[in-house]
């Protein structure tokens, strides 16, 4: 496989990924400042495209402006892929990302129209994470690394690393849903705490598996290390954020410490998910599936010289 997509497309997708990190931070700032209803109408803000940027309006309308910019950039990316990407499935992923960002905007409007109902607010936060990892995936798929000729590795261990990494990514995504539900008042913290224990076990198990089976494969080892590092930081941020929530329970206004720690915890979750997604996709790119291994083994055993590939 050789690179077929112009490097500029990959760089644009990478830039959009960074912009989404800013958008996630802006959204978390709205929630942490309790500014979700600072602007009571939508899609305009107090009937204007640019209301006075004061108080909670600054956070809520600022979030809308960043979201609009990200939406425009997603449109550009979708059309760049449509015209410059020869792989249909990547082009379709670009249109999927565009659909997700449109749905995300509509959910954002519904949260305002219906006065921040917990289910819709949780769905809004969840879809943001799904949109983020979709763009992260496009960024990886358009990279020169993904399109280059890479050696295909064999995984003889159990469970297969490809499956384990996918399960870990799914668990992290579910954990982010549970965190969003707690943050937006859909349910208590207990499900989120249980999810944290499950994710901790899976990430440690996945990282250990990467080290034991593919410790010399740099492209897998570095993502395993990054995943574990992000999770370690995330756990510390989670403990600190819970402490900040307890301390600010009776405060008249959100404290600076509360805002910083809760926003950092949200971003940490997103980056942990992104690292797990990249590790999972890298496993699927580098490690042959069971069917391929079985066919190759059968072909090798049928050779008269008994050669094993």
Q: Is the pLDDT of residue 70 over 50?
A: yes
Residue 218: predicted pLDDT: 93
pLDDT confidence band for 296 (50 / 70 / 90): very low
- Convert 242-264 to b/e letters by CB count within 10 Å (16 or more is b): bebbeebeeeeebeeebbbbbbb
Contacts of 30 (CB under 8 A, 6+ apart): 36, 59, 60, 63
Phi, psi of 152 (to 5 degrees): -95, 120
pLDDT confidence band for 249 (50 / 70 / 90): confident
Helix (H) or strand (E) holding 175: helix 161-183
User: How far apart (Å, rounded) are the C-alpha atoms in residues 309 and 302?
Assistant: 12
**Across-strand partners of 45?**
48
pLDDT confidence band for 300 (50 / 70 / 90): very low
Q: Is the pLDDT of residue 297 over 60?
A: no
Residue 293: predicted pLDDT: 45
Residue 158: predicted pLDDT: 93
User: How far apart (Å, rounded) are the C-alpha atoms in residues 162 and 75?
Assistant: 32
Average pLDDT over residues 238-248: 89
Q: Is the pLDDT of residue 292 over 80?
A: no
C-alpha 258 chain-centroid distance:
23
Average pLDDT over residues 80-108: 97
**Across-strand partners of 153?**
287
pLDDT confidence band for 247 (50 / 70 / 90): confident
pLDDT confidence band for 3 (50 / 70 / 90): low
CA-only gyration radius of the chain, Å = 22
């Amino acid at each position: 496989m050789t690179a077929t997509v112009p490097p500029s497309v990959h760089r644009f997708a990478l830039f959009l990924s960074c912009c989404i990190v800013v958008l996630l931070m802006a959204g978390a700032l709205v929630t942490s400042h309790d500014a979700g209803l600072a602007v009571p109408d939508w899609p305009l803000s107090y009937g204007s495209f640019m209301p006075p940027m004061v108080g909670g309006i600054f956070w809520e309308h600022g979030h809308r402006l960043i979201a609009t910019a990200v939406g425009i950039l997603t449109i550009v990316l979708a059309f760049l892929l449509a015209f410059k990407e020869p792989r249909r499935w990547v082009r379709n992923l670009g249109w999927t990302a565009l659909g997700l960002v449109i749905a995300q905007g509509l959910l954002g409007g519904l949260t305002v129209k219906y006065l921040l109902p917990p289910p819709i607010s949780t769905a809004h936060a969840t879809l943001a994470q799904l949109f983020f990892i979709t763009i992260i995936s496009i960024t990886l798929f358009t990279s020169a690394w993904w399109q280059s000729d890479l050696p295909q590795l064999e995984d003889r261990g159990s469970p297969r690393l490809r499956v384990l990494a996918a399960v870990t990514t799914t668990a992290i995504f579910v954990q982010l849903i549970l965190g969003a539900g707690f943050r937006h008042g859909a349910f208590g913290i207990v499900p989120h705490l249980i999810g944290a224990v499950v994710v901790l076990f899976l990430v440690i198990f996945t990282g250990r598996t990467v080290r034991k089976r593919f410790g010399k494969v740099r492209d897998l080892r570095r993502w395993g290390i990054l995943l574990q590092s992000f999770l370690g930081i995330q756990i510390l941020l989670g403990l600190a954020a819970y402490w900040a929530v307890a301390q600010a329970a009776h405060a008249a206004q959100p404290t600076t410490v509360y805002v910083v720690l809760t926003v950092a915890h949200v971003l940490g979750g997103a980056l942990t998910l992104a690292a797990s997604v990249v590790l999972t996709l890298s496993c699927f790119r580098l490690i042959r599936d069971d069917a391929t291994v079985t066919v190759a083994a059968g072909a090798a055993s049928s050779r008269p010289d008994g050669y094993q590939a």
